[in-house]
Amino acid sequence: MHLKELHEMNNIIDSKLNIASWIFVVMASLLAIQGVIDGLPMHGFDHSWPDHARFHITWATASKVGFCLTVAIIALIPLRKGERWSWWALVVFTIFGNLSLVPAAIWQGSGPRAGFEIPIAIAFIALLVGLVLSFRVGFPKEGT
């Protein structure tokens, strides 16, 4: 391959990584915002809930925001640097940050229902697109 072709290929790879990175940043931000908007007003400030239950929802909300912030940082820095572990961390986010909502809703008897499943499906598809676009970070070609 000529130097020009290699440069063009690197530009395509960088472009895919940037898109993947921003997909994860946006999805992590939306999940954090959803946690704050849904968790605290509906449950954390509901005085019909016991104090200890409100403690746990407040703690879970803060943990979710921290988890999502960590994902955004991973997507913006190590993923763009091509650090293999970062791709795997984003797989964990895709499974536990997004897909875990479905069994949680089923086990707690609050779903799934169409209004609940559609945003989860859209988010999951977006996260899968991010994983596909950044696939070579997780599975680099031999000799690279």
pLDDT band at 54 (very low <50, low <70, confident <90, very high): very high
Residue 28 lies in a domain: yes
Query: Range of 34's domain?
Result: 10-138
- Contacts (Cβ under 8 Å, ≥6 apart) of 18: 80
The Cα diameter of the chain in Å comes to: 69
pLDDT band at 144 (very low <50, low <70, confident <90, very high): low
> Residue 137 in contact with residue 86, Cβ under 8 Å?
yes
> Residue 23 in contact with residue 122, Cβ under 8 Å?
no
Question: What integer pLDDT is reported at residue 5 of this predicted model?
Answer: 54
Domain count, the chain: 1
Residue 144 lies in a domain: no
Residue 4 lies in a domain: no
| Matching residue, tokens 């697109």 | 129
Q: What are the CA-CA distances from residue 114 to residues 44, 52, 104 (Å)?
A: 25, 31, 15
Query: 55-88: per-residue pLDDT in tens?
Result: 999 999 999 999 999 999 999 999 999 999 999 9
**10: how many CB neighbours lie within 10 A of its CB?**
10
Query: 81-114: per-residue pLDDT in tens?
Result: 999 999 999 999 999 888 887 787 778 776 556 5
Residue 2 lies in a domain: no
Residue 49 lies in a domain: yes
Residue 99, judged by CB atoms within 10 A of its CB (0-12, 13-18, 19+), counts as: middle
